[in-house]
Structure 1
């Protein structure tokens, strides 16, 4: 087998072409490394060699990815597309505790910048575990912009060893990449599942020589490296096409790489997504007039020898923001420093990961994939928002047009009228129902079970309340169950709702109902105070309703009859609302999950003289629909 430190390319491909630009969104790149000194790299932002630190996980990762793509011939780390131009746009930085990750919004900005700079391919060897979160609308729009510009985005599925969504790899317009070892077997850490099966492939993610920041080479492992392999392959396909007088866009490249992949059978076939990358298979679909490579060594990207790299794995992880490096970077290996290591960053708060990243990613190490707290096994949600819908794909819209007036599809009132017809009610199941917070979709709603049909009828009724009665809010209790993609590229967590807890209301009408029959002189003041509390919950402290304290707060906002009692006392003493706080209740029944919602009031005329008034009511959120526990308590405190 060829030496892993000297990867070569066949004449047909020969390192790509100088008119092809690959953007890498990663850590900073140490361009002084021997393999990169002559590389055709353009550095965007503060990425110059003298600005990049000599060590650190972020620059180590960025330098390794750059060398896998652009490492020059004759060096110990020759890249697959060394003739191509490179755009280096850092999204990770090194801090005192390890890698400082990027947010999804940071990634979106970087994508837009490299699109404007002329990228043909965008390599993202990283991402964020979706867990129960929706993808940022800004990231969804940036990916849609790349698709409109016919730029292929290639991203890693992640190294959590689980069936779990990873942004942006789970977006259908992105070519998702999992990893296999030198023998072509799936790496245990490589993520898999239906999130990528239709638009993902696997490539070699171990055993390749990459530049290390100490000037030597290392042999990193993970889906990050496999992503660079696929980006290199895509560049070689573009180059082959241009030499043949043809230009391939993102869609054609993605389809060719997926359709040309080598399928895998057996019980673990799902871990290989659409199959192992096969450059000759992809080329045959793009340029069928060319003869297929005959020599085994001409089919690159599939058989690269594994060197004697150590098996120690270090998995960097994020410390604050969600976007994480998704590779297991092995210690730098050289004759002078064999056995050295890099310190892993600390895990994000609440991630459930061990404080040290020095552990291999096993299948049970994906904390955000563990469903948790309901009796049925799924994670509980209690959210507040507005109801909307999405028609799904263009194919779905066309199929619905045979039963519904397609002119009404984008007119909610007209569509609602169509759906409420007795013969069309069942079509509500063909629409993706969503809950939005501040007009941003955060959940898809999918009724399930024996009474699902009745659930869709209730969704129609709630939408009717919004459109005809002016309802401002809908409560959504339920259990998370998977994800669904929207045509915009946004991927939303799916909530199976508990309809006995779904209501719609307006703040004004709710307040009037609470105060019905009250004839106090300060009635207007009461209305204003209760409305102020509800608006603060809705806007100032809005949340996705997954954490138990958020569910307690959201439920409290729907139980305004309890709140009215609080304000009745507060207004008698001319007090104004100061703060809203949620804290774990120190006393709780066995099996409960109780939280105290505390409201603090002050007298604006006697700020320094009069103690603040505190009110507390307790909410048990252990079930899908929370309940109030005990009486409202009150006391004064300075």
Structure 2
């Protein structure tokens, strides 16, 4: 890495700033390795299982993290050794590979933890050319928040689409050999052409779990080189007193890249947008700094600059934060940060799992056989109708089950009732499961459930081998089912609409479409503040009922649903504005109508604040 052109010159100007947070969404990293001695790097704890420094995923995570954060004077010279590092485990050795849903979870949590740059040295091939909704939304979330995502283009050696690297807004990275020629395994394609960059990726030195070093080849090692350089460029901005701008740095890396030599024997499309040129990127960044009017710069004190650039609140000194002018200990600056009880408000399909064959067989033996057409059918614990009958007769049997909530058949959380009301929560879970297996025309039928809880910092292993985080639910309040038939009727009545039967039916239809659209178009993990606000807005259809009734009375149709950080909020609150925009489908020149209501998600169970506001938009 020291031989990368332009890197030594950049190091003379900066080795990074601790106020610039670079996250690595990857496997666990062995942060006790000598390469990290003195580094301000930590794991984001309490979300995935701590697999420890063993297995392929830990080897991958340790290697990638050391390429960025390896301390100078140690066994690995990292690209940005003085930037703050955050390792977000998204790969588990228990599964061997990750899913797009887990990558999305890692990316969103990294943003909430204050990352300005997120390195993803992994992903999946997409035959359709598109990413799953959750991953695409996570990337859009980063763009909206001004966070740069750097992702490996993949090592399949094909003209293909590898996500998240191929998604708009991501800085994709391909790998070069020692002669500056694209590695045969490095992916390319039209999706990367405008936002892809090539960087060294052959025999890259990195840390090996336990001790020692190892060399590896691939786009997974080229990506952290680019992410580290991005961290250094952001550090230059911060040192100059300007607000760090990750997206502008990403653009500088692309615009400063060397174009393909058309006389080369290798097709130019293999080089994506161009080859990493550190000196060119530095010139663009420093030129922008020099051209920025001085009176438009933010405060330049170390404290102010760090607070503007990093969500962690660190002031550049390891272990300290500035709150009200006095320093205090920050757990995130330690190598193994204490798990945080993240609130979750998840919306999905309720299910159950056995975890092992022994537990499944125990249920099969205890359950009564069923009668079908005069024939006795052996008990089937996988049949939710039979399971509801069994749990209704034997309520205590709900506790040994592993209760889950899923998105599109993929379990995302395990639900664990805790505290003095655990028995009541288990009973409610059984009732909700009964609602899911009810007839669709029944008032008791429910399509999905809403689950408020807190991350426990633990995971459980499902029968399939998948490990999912456990969320703890302490009380029944807020745990509810989307009884769409009953909910829609109640919401229409709550709106107090005097529009007549025709308009009431239109309101019912619009509310159903709203609930369906939120779930299918905007489905999420419910872990970030913005997603908890969105999920609660969908669940609390009574809040939206008046909005729809008013809009439909004026012949408007729903255009978009958005969530923005509220500029107003109570002390110690976490308030978000949910905005619903409507338009006239028959007259596009007519002004649009916007409705806004505010939700505070600081507590486990969100709450609406104030009244619904509406205004006209051009």
Give the TM-score normalised by the residue count of structure 1: 0.44
By percentage of residues, which structure has more helix?
A: 2
Give the TM-score normalised by the residue count of structure 2: 0.45
